[in-house]
Amino acid sequence: MRVLLTGARGMLGTDLSALIRERHELHPIDIEEVDITDGPATMALIEKIRPDAIIHTAAYTDVDGCESHVDQAFQVNGEGTRHVAEGAHRSGASMLYVSTDYVFDGKSASPYRVEDEPRPMSVYGKSKLRGEVYTRELAAQHYIVRTGWLYGEHGANFVEKVIGLARDRPRLEIVDDQVGSPTYSKDLAPALLRLVESGRFGTYHVTNDGSCSWFEFARHILDLAGIEDIEVVPTTSERLARPAPRPPYSVLDNSAWREVFGSGLRHWREAIEEYVRHRPR
């Protein structure tokens, strides 16, 4: 299978690149090869490669930055996705679009199912939802995968930020009123490839199992890293006052995935233990 991968140098893209190369013909692209906000250039490149499948991970993921760069967020996450979807349609390729738990408003009392109505709070969530709409409208053979709280070895992430801050400060304040499912990119990447190989089109939620608050996640990270001489205290989103609103509860129900593949990803505690154990000291 000939696979075109956007965002190939990103956190998730790097993990996917290694996996795809083992089994398929990989065509990795990133901003150096084409700017997906340039429609004609994007579609021309896709038609030249003629992929069997496109995995679209390229995105503007700075949640707070999206609030002050609204046009850029919608250009990349919305219109950029439209161009990729149009290219997929023209070349007859299937398309997998990576979306986010932030398409929901967090007011649910139970994990969000794939059929629940999205109500994004932030510019980031709204722009990613726009990408979902374009994918469904334009790419007949599509997969939409919502995930969240992603971390991995090949990019900036919450785990490294917490460990770095803990080594420089005697005290950390971490929000405890946002709950989600931390997801390891090395677990998500093989799931995405498996989905593309399956031909089981549709919308899926895919995260590591279980859930926690950012405070619980940070506390567990520091325990695993053996960092003890620091005070970690819970705080509220209101007090932190970040530019972008976050859903207070963005746990995703992975049952649609389990119905097709039989089992989900491992528990987030097991995944973060592996990450911390193997990270460079």
Which tens digit of pLDDT belongs to each residue from 56-83? Answer: 999 999 999 999 999 999 999 999 999 9
Q: Is 50 within 8 Å of 4 (Cβ atoms)? A: no
- The reply to whether the predicted model has a pTM over 0.95 is yes
Point out the catalytic residue in the list 124, 134, 143, 275.
Answer: 124
Domains belonging to the chain, first-starting first, are 2-157+183-210+251-265 (3.40.50.720)
Q: Does 184 participate in catalysis according to the annotation?
A: no
The pLDDT of 80-90, averaged and rounded, is 98
* pLDDT at residue 281 in the model: 64
**How far is the C-alpha of 206 from the C-alpha of 204, rounded, in Å?**
6
pLDDT at 43 over 90: yes
Q: How many CB atoms lie within 10 A of CB 110?
A: 9
The pLDDT mean for the chain works out to 97
User: pLDDT confidence of 280, banded at 50, 70, 90?
Assistant: confident
